[in-house]
């Protein structure tokens, strides 16, 4: 009887976990129960007001329904991180959506979800995480289903599953989370896809439809093959494609800003795509509809206005972001190929944006810097210059503004201290790379061109101590100032 009562209580407690469109709704009170009941659990930490979360919601629910229909032991769940703040803090949630995969009921070290935001991509990633890296195709029907159900899939044709080539295929599959890999030795499958010898084929629902691997079959070569062919020659930037764009291995991106409604849209797209073919796996070709409201932040990041489109820009997303602008405004395969070739050969100079110097830049206590006057002011050997690099839309910058103005007022009559600010969405300088807003940097007097980061308390007292000590005191980290991250890289993925 006690055992039956215990079972009843367990079932009852599990039944209390509510669902919305097949997605479990988790709170601190039922989180541990959910982990115990579902050994493979993907959890989205979201904010109700977050645009990215709203865009993800229908695909997330669709993925949950697909898995539930298959009677899979994988479940999808969500947590309102604005309400369940303790859970959000426990799992280090600093942006939305944050998606984590919990395996085996363990709370420690969940895996960050790293794939796309379409339902089939979510399902594929989860299956790769919970099942074998390579599935076995017994016949043509299974092969056709794999290809039909996935945007991209890879099939290895191997008569001997223990061959060196098959083992290299297995190792490559284990290294890729978001694309299904399968293997077959079936003669009918060989015949169906006109394969006469052991080989690897990548199937995709875009461009040429399939690619055949050519060369020595090693894990490294196969990974390079998949990387070069898994994305369209030209990929449109959207909420759904952003994770693929920013999360991929190709960190050099060329962007074409063009209204989709333009009369010559297809003509320019054809030219862009023609140029893309020669840089597969080296440069990602991205199209951005310059008329879409959600894309205006990206235009601003590149110093562009809608009226200036069509336009081409190139950016590297390595440790230091660097932008490049072509000399020619022509959008032809020839001009784009020339531009990309110069880039790959290291022959391009970075493009640094700058506004014109305002006539009254010195008028107020906080001096206004732009790209064209920055070095003259910041590296004046007789001045100690404290600069705020800000973005007009940044909430943290707006909160800091009145304190920064008071700081400028306090030192407006100083003989050797200058308090300044620069709009980093419209101005760039080679000496300082800004990755978050606000960024605060101190340029002490002297010929050395030193740059000192300020990470201390954002108070008038904290700033004053820092300045009066020549940048030596009061600059200790003050804790969790969650700055607004760079628009192009962190807000739009």
CB 323 within 8 A of CB 304: no
Q: Which residues are within 8 A (CB) of 161 and not within 5 positions of it... i.e. 6 or more apart? A: 183, 185
Reading the block at residue 247, the tokens are 């999360």
Q: Does 394 qualify as catalytic in the annotation?
A: yes
Tell me the C-alpha distance between 181 and 202, whole Å.
9
Tell me the C-alpha distance between 297 and 425, whole Å.
9
Q: How many helices, marked H, and strands, marked E, lie in the chain? A: 16, 23
Largest CA distance in the chain: 87
Tokens 């991106």 belong to 253
One DSSP character per residue, 101-112 reads EEETT--SSPEE
Tell me the C-alpha distance between 491 and 484, whole Å.
8
Tell me the C-alpha distance between 252 and 281, whole Å.
10
Q: Which of 7, 309, 340, 394 is catalytic?
A: 394
Q: Which of 7, 309, 340, 397 is catalytic?
A: 397
CB 45 within 8 A of CB 88: yes
Tokens 């849209």 belong to 265
Q: Does 50 qualify as catalytic in the annotation?
A: yes
Q: Which of 7, 50, 309, 340 is catalytic?
A: 50
CA 457 and chain centroid, separation: 29
Quote the strand ranges of 127-188, DSSP E: 134-136, 152-157, 181-184
What stretch of H or E contains 253? strand 252-258
Q: Does 309 qualify as catalytic in the annotation?
A: no
What Å distances lie between residue 371 and 117, 258, 319, 394, 427, CA to CA? 38, 27, 21, 20, 5
> Closest Cα partner for 74 from 28, 129, 2, 138?
129
Tell me the C-alpha distance between 170 and 304, whole Å.
46
User: Alpha helices of 70-134 — where are they, by DSSP H?
Assistant: 85-90, 119-130
Reading the block at residue 26, the tokens are 């988790």
CB 42 within 8 A of CB 77: yes
Q: Does 340 qualify as catalytic in the annotation?
A: no
Strand partners of residue 316: 252, 322
Tell me the C-alpha distance between 180 and 192, whole Å.
20
Peptide bond into 438 cis (omega under 30): yes
Q: Which of 7, 53, 309, 340 is catalytic?
A: 53
Q: Which are the catalytic amino acids? A: 50, 53, 394, 397
């Amino acid at each position: 009887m006690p055992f039956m009562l215990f079972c009843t209580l367990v079932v009852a407690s599990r039944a209390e976990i509510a669902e919305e469109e097949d997605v479990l709704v988790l709170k601190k009170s039922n989180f541990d129960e959910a982990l115990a009941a579902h050994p493979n659990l993907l959890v989205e930490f979201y904010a109700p007001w977050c645009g990215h979360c709203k865009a993800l919601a229908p695909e997330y629910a669709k993925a949950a329904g697909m898995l539930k229909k298959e009677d899979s032991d994988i479940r999808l769940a969500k947590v309102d991180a604005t309400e369940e703040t303790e859970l959000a803090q426990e799992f280090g949630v600093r942006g939305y959506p944050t998606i984590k995969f919990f395996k085996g009921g363990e709370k420690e070290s969940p895996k960050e979800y790293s794939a796309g935001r379409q339902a089939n991509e979510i399902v594929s990633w989860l299956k790769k995480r919970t099942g074998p890296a390579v599935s076995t195709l017994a016949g043509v029907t299974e092969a056709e289903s794999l290809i039909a159900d996935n945007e991209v899939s890879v099939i290895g044709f191997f008569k001997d599953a223990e061959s060196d080539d098959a083992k290299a295929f297995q190792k490559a599959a284990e290294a890729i989370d978001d694309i299904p890999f399968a293997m077959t030795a079936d003669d009918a499958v060989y015949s169906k896809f006109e394969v006469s010898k052991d080989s690897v084929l990548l199937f995709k629902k875009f461009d040429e439809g399939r690619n055949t691997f050519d060369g020595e079959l090693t894990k490294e070569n196969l990974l390079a093959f998949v990387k070069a062919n898994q994305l369209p020659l030209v990929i449109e930037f959207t909420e759904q494609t952003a994770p693929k764009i920013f999360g991929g291995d190709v960190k050099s991106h060329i962007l074409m800003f063009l209204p989709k409604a333009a009369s010559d849209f297809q003509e320019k797209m054809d030219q862009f795509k023609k140029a893309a073919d020669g840089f597969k796996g080296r440069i990602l070709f991205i199209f951005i509809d310059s008329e879409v409201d959600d894309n205006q932040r990206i235009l601003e990041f590149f110093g562009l206005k809608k009226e200036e489109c069509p336009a081409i820009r190139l950016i590297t997303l390595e440790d230091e972001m660097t932008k490049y602008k072509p000399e020619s405004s022509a959008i032809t395969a020839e001009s784009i190929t020339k531009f990309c070739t110069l880039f790959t050969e290291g022959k391009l100079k970075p493009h640094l944006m700058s506004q014109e110097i305002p006539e009254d830049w010195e008028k107020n206590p906080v001096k206004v810097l732009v790209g064209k006057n920055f070095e003259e002011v910041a590296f004046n050997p007789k001045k100690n210059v404290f600069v705020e690099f800000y973005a007009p839309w940044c909430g943290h910058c707006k909160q800091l503004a009145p304190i920064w103005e008071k700081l400028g007022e306090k030192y407006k009559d100083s003989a050797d201290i200058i308090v300044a600010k620069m709009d980093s969405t419209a101005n760039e300088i080679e000496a300082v790379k800004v990755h978050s807003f606000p960024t605060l940097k101190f340029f002490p007097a002297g010929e050395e061109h030193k740059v000192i980061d300020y990470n201390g308390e954002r108070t008038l007292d904290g700033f004053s101590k820092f300045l009066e000590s020549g940048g030596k005191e009061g600059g200790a980290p003050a804790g969790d100032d969650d700055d607004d991250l760079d628009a192009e890289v962190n807000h739009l993925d």
